[in-house]
Amino acid sequence: MSIEARLAELGVILPEAPAPAANYVPWVRTGNLLFVSGQIAANADGFITGKLGENMTAEDGAIAAKACAISLLAQLKAGCDGDIERLVRVVKLIGFVNSTPDFGDQPKVINGCSDFMVEALGNKGRHSRSAVSAASLPFGVAVEIEGIFEIS
């Protein structure tokens, strides 16, 4: 099954790739790797804001992380000249969680992205990753995730 068909089966239509918010590019392709800049948690209603351990649960954060995953795939598609089927595999995800000093469930939050990648992409979605705390993130978002992808 194609990636686009699987996404449609999951009820996900990739949005246009978000434009960068500052002086950087949304992705860089070098050789067969595509490095996607950090994608912040947002949905149709705007930014998903909050601080884990203060006014958000790990489950809320996982929803925000899934939104980041969808933005990552939108950037991946743009970086592949519109052909997301060029994806060979997700190599690594780096997740940042806006959380209180005593919050320790960053991995559970970033699972929202990881689980979606595997659900949508199968074995191509299996990856290495980091899940770290941040004292704050741009615009007060709950989660930001960047990714490295192998493409053909």
Encode pLDDT of 32-59 as tens digits. Answer: 999 999 999 999 999 999 999 999 999 9
Q: What pTM did the predictor assign?
A: 0.97
**97 neighbors 109 (Cβ within 8 angstroms):** yes
**142 neighbors 49 (Cβ within 8 angstroms):** yes
Tokens standing for residue 82: 């519109």
Could you give the CA distance from residue 95 to residue 106 in angstroms, rounded to a whole number? Answer: 8
**125-143 pLDDT tens trace:** 999 999 999 999 999 999 9
* Residue ranges per structural domain of the chain: 3-10+26-151
Superfamily per CATH, domain 3-10+26-151: RutC-like (3.30.1330.40)
Could you give the CA distance from residue 90 to residue 40 in angstroms, rounded to a whole number? Answer: 18
Tokens standing for residue 40: 């912040």
pLDDT confidence of 146, banded at 50, 70, 90?
very high
The secondary structure of residue 45, as a DSSP letter, is: T
